[in-house]
């Protein structure tokens, strides 16, 4: 469930902004500039058309539709003599249908803004630029012009922050005898990671293209065929930055490391054990046992202390297996937030195949800061509302060929999506099972969850897909926003004790159908404009100001108090439903489908709210996902022979699940990370100070 990045998106690190993708057009002459937005290797999914009038007023229409949703915006602005916004407005609808209405005005040197989520004022400092929450890419064009003038000093932003840029690549493109030289800029100062965009290099430079590798390309009309070349070069340039980032934040621990004076969380049994020690060597767990071995009270085999390269004294803290996010859509830039939160493994639930293969290869080679990836092969049907990830097929032969590719590339499962043809569902599942792959997914359009289970599903993604079982008929188009609005409107009135509901829960338990609820991600169903997202309220004050501001932006259309109360009741009942499934014996895995790290922490809190103990909730993010992703022999618990993927917690999350945020130290194989270092790199105030090993003096 991927958000379109037109603002400080609270749920997707890499999609924080599709900003800065428009032209810095000269205001003194009338002009029209057109961009096209492409997905799936060249399919047009939207456009931006900008007209600059003789009076200097810039008007833009922006429309983007992918996976049955997307924003529709109309924007107008005029610049002051110093190049800043004199007045600005944007109206329309957001990705999930929320109204957009944002304005900025400067009067007598004071700038005032008002959006659906916030309002404020600030002196219009010389050259300071208002940073829009909901604007089209064109609204960021004047900021680019200001960057070109101010150089290394950067551009101050209102309400807060400073934006800076640097050139990291350049290329000359050829088309029909024309040559166009463009630069690749990296912009920093907003959000967690750099924003990359291509600009022209003429006297009045403007943006030529914005590319989100593996997903979308926005490029000046007429140059669509050159977008692939730009994407290839951008991937290479980003790789250099990513290698540098990983080198600065990772610390190798070759040889043998003794971790002592720690209490081990047994993720298989869901209990916290006595003070113990763990010996790791070259990325694997060698020994586990009670006692503080270095003090001589180890019960069991004697170890040769001369072989120990370093010792980490946990001071009685909790040592856990690394967390496992069972529902991610990873990118090359999302790993920092994962690692800092103690997430050492993720299951990618749908991605561009080539991009995911690249991410996995770079992570294995130690070039990428990020979690280990277990892939799920994305399988979608062809329609106007298809998600353009993985393979999009029309018939059973195409589905079989896709499954063959996933099996050959060692994918343990496939994920079926909304537009998949219901007529071939059962045969597709049987073919995948014959190849040894598990099958999970959304429920294909015009079917119910029980139909998918009867056809052979092993797992269902998202709580809304489960509850829609009782809310749809064979004419309900769940490829549209109805898959969100129906549960928000109807779950409040559901009787969970009714026989059809109880029978369905019993069916899920009997067949051991795994449920991946992603409750935290659905918090947007009840958030009103200006309210702090409850999904991130506990961590908001640690975030950069622009991210905090984004956490108050609503995504859903909630027009009045009565609707808000109803949607809130539906959401809370959805949380309760997860608890009911768990108590009935339905397997639950914790996934996010949102902002890495922080969303998983909130997900676990919601499971406790649903009635799980904190220890049971922790199992859903350690043992359970490793088991159902078929890697439990390799990770998911602290046991001899498994990967040394471990996290040291400065607290006890088996008593207070909120302590899961206090990750002091992360070990991933033969590398150690300190979340405090990673968070500071991303502009986040840390949650715990690091616990570091001491090298042994020889």
Residue 293 CB neighbour total at 10 angstroms? 26
Rounded Cα–Cα distance for residues 487 and 499 (Å): 19
Question: In this structure, are residues 642 and 661 in contact, taking their beta carbons and an 8 Å threshold?
Answer: no
User: Which ranges of 92-152 would DSSP assign to H, the alpha helix?
Assistant: 141-150
- What pLDDT is attached to residue 458? 98
Question: DSSP string of 461-480?
Answer: E-HHHHHGGGT--TT--TTS
CA distances from 304 to 277, 294, 296, 621 (A): 14, 10, 12, 35
Instruction: Give one word for 214, left, alpha or beta, with left for phi > 0 and alpha for psi -120 to 50.
Output: left
For residues 343 and 323, the answer to whether their CB atoms sit within 8 Å is yes
Using DSSP, how many helices (H) and how many strands (E) does the chain show?
Answer: 16, 33
Rounded Cα gap, residues 351 and 107, in angstroms: 47
The owner of tokens 């749908």 is: 350
8 Å CB contact between 675 and 341: yes
- Among 451, 459, 464, CA closest to 433: 459
* Maximum C-alpha span of the chain: 85
C-alpha closest to that of 378 among 408, 346, 356: 356
576, two tokens: 């309760």
Q: Is 516 helix (H, G, I), strand (E, B) or coil?
A: strand
Own/partner contacts of 394-398, CB < 8 Å, gap of 24 or more, are 394/421, 395/421, 395/424, 396/424, 396/427, 396/428, 396/431
pLDDT along the chain (698 residues), means of 10: 32 35 40 89 89 91 87 94 93 90 94 94 89 86 85 90 92 93 92 89 81 90 94 93 94 96 98 96 95 56 72 97 97 95 98 94 95 98 91 97 98 98 98 98 98 98 98 96 96 98 98 98 95 96 93 92 98 98 98 96 98 98 98 98 98 98 98 97 96 87
Query: In this structure, what token pair is assigned to residue 520?
Result: 């935290």
Q: Please name the residue that has the structure tokens 């998949």.
A: 420
Written as one string, the DSSP assignment of 412-451 is SEEEE-TT--GGGHHHHHHHHHHTT-EEEEPPPTT--HHH
* Domain at 251-321+636-698: CATH code: 2.30.40.10
Q: 10 Å Cβ neighbour count for 54?
A: 10
Residue 237 is inside which H or E element, if any?
Answer: helix 227-249
Between CA 196 and CA 207 the distance in angstroms is 11
Among candidate residues 100, 112, 140, 106, the one with its CA nearest the CA of residue 126: 106
Structure tokens at 568: 């809130």
Q: Are 12 and 558 in contact (CB under 8 A)?
A: no
Nearest to residue 323, comparing CAs of 680, 14, 4, 667? 667
- Contact by Cβ (8 Å): 417, 378: yes
Q: Is residue 219 within 8 Å of residue 226, measured between CB atoms?
A: yes
- Mark out the alpha helices in 538-657 (DSSP H runs): 545-550, 561-584, 598-609, 614-619, 623-628
Distance between CA atoms of residues 588 and 603, nearest Å: 11
Cα–Cα distance, 447 to 386 (Å, whole number): 16
Q: Helices marked H in 97-194 — which ranges?
A: 141-150
Degrees to nearest 5, angle at CA 275 with 271 and 276: 95
Q: Which residues contact 641 (CB under 8 A, 6 or more apart)?
A: 284, 285
The answer to whether the bond into 159 is cis (omega within 30° of 0) is yes
Q: E strand or H helix at 277, and its extent? A: strand 271-281
Contact between 403 and 409 (Cβ < 8 Å): no
DSSP result, 282-303:
TTEEEEEEES-GGGT---SS--
CB 666 within 8 A of CB 680: no
Residue 603 CB-half CA count within 13 A: 30
How far is Cα 219 from Cα 683, in angstroms, rounded to an integer? 30
What is the distance between the alpha carbons of residues 132 and 550, in angstroms, rounded to a whole number?
10
pLDDT attached to residue 399: 98
323-635 classified as CATH 3.20.20.140: yes
Residue spans of the domains in the chain: they are 13-222, 251-321+636-698, 323-635
Query: How far is it, in rounded angstroms, from Cα 218 to Cα 18?
Result: 9
Euclidean distance between CA atoms 532 and 529, whole angstroms: 9
Residues 6+ away with beta carbon under 8 Å from 124: 80, 84, 106, 109, 110, 111, 158
Stretch (H or E) spanning 178:
strand 178-188
- ∠ CA 100-194-165, rounded to 5°: 100
Specify the DSSP class assigned to residue 502: H
């Amino acid at each position: 469930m991927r958000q379109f990045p037109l603002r400080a998106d609270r749920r997707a690190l890499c999609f924080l902004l599709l900003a800065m993708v428009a032209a810095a057009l000269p205001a003194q002459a009338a002009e029209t500039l057109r961009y096209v937005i492409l997905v799936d290797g060249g399919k047009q999914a939207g456009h931006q058309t900008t007209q600059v009038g003789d009076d200097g007023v810039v008007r833009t229409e922006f429309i983007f539709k992918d996976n049955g949703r997307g924003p529709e915006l109309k924007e107008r602005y005029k610049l002051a003599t110093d190049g800043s916004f004199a007045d600005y407005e944007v109206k329309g609808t957001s990705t999930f249908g929320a109204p957009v209405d944002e304005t900025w005005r400067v009067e007598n040197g004071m700038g005032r803004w008002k959006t659906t989520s916030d309002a404020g004022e600030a002196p219009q400092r010389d050259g300071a630029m208002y940073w829009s929450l909901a604007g089209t890419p064109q609204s960021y064009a004047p900021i680019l012009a200001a960057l070109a003038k101010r150089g290394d000093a950067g551009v101050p932003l209102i309400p807060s922050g400073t934006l800076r840029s640097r050139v990291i690549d350049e290329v000359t493109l050829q088309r029909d005898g024309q040559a166009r030289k463009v630069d690749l800029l990296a912009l920093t100062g907003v959000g967690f990671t750099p924003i990359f965009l291509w600009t022209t290099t003429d006297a009045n430079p403007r943006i030529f293209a914005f590319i989100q590798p593996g997903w979308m390309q926005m490029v000046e009309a007429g140059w669509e065929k050159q977008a692939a070349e730009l994407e290839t070069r951008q991937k290479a340039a980003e790789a250099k930055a990513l290698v540098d980032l990983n080198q600065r934040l990772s610390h190798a621990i070759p040889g043998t490391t003794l971790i002592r004076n720690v209490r081990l969380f047994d993720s298989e049994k869901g209990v916290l054990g006595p003070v113990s020690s763990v010996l790791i060597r070259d990325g694997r767990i060698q020994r586990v046992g009670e006692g503080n071995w270095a003090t001589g009270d180890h019960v069991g085999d004697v170890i040769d202390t001369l072989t120990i390269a370093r010792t980490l004294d946990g001071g009685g803290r909790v040592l856990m297996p690394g967390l496992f996010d069972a529902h991610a859509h990873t990118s090359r830039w999302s790993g920092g937030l994962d690692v800092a939160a103690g997430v050492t493994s993720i299951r990618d639930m749908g991605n561009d195949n080539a991009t995911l293969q690249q991410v996995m290869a770079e992570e294995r080679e130690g070039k990428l800061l990020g979690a280990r990836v277990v892939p799920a092969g994305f399988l979608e049907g062809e329609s106007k509302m298809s998600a353009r990830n993985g393979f999009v097929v029309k018939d059973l032969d195409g589905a079989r060929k896709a499954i063959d590719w996933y099996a050959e590339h060692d994918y343990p499962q496939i994920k079926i999506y909304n537009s998949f043809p219901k007529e071939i569902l059962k045969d597709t599942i049987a073919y995948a099972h014959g190849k040894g792959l598990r099958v999970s997914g959304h429920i294909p359009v015009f079917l119910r969850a029980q139909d998918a289970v009867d056809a052979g599903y092993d797992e269902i993604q998202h709580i809304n897909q489960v509850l829609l079982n009782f809310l749809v008929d064979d004419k309900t188009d769940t490829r549209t926003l109805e898959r969100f609005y129906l549960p928000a409107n109807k779950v409040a009135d559901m009787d969970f004790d009714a026989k059809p509901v109880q029978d369905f829960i019993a069916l899920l338990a009997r067949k051991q159908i795994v449920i991946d609820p992603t409750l935290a991600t659905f918090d947007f169903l009840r958030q009103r404009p200006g309210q702090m997202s409850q999904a991130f309220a506990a961590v908001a004050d640690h975030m950069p100001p622009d991210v905090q501001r984004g956490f108050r932006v609503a995504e859903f259309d909630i027009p009045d108090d009565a609707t808000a109360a109803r949607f809130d009741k539906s959401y809370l009942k959805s949380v309760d439903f997860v608890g009911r499934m768990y108590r009935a014996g339905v397997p639950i895995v914790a996934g996010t489908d949102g902002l890495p790290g922080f969303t998983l922490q909130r997900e676990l809190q919601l499971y406790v709210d649903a009635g799980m103990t904190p220890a049971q909730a922790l199992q859903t993010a350690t043992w359970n996902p490793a088991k159902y992703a078929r890697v439990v022999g390799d990770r998911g618990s602290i046991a001899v022979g498994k990967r040394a993927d471990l996290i040291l917690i400065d607290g006890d999350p088996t008593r207070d699940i909120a302590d899961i945020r206090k990750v002091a130290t992360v070990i991933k194989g033969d590398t150690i990370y300190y979340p405090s270092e990673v968070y500071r790199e991303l502009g986040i105030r840390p949650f715990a100070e690091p616990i570091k090993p001491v090298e042994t003096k020889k």
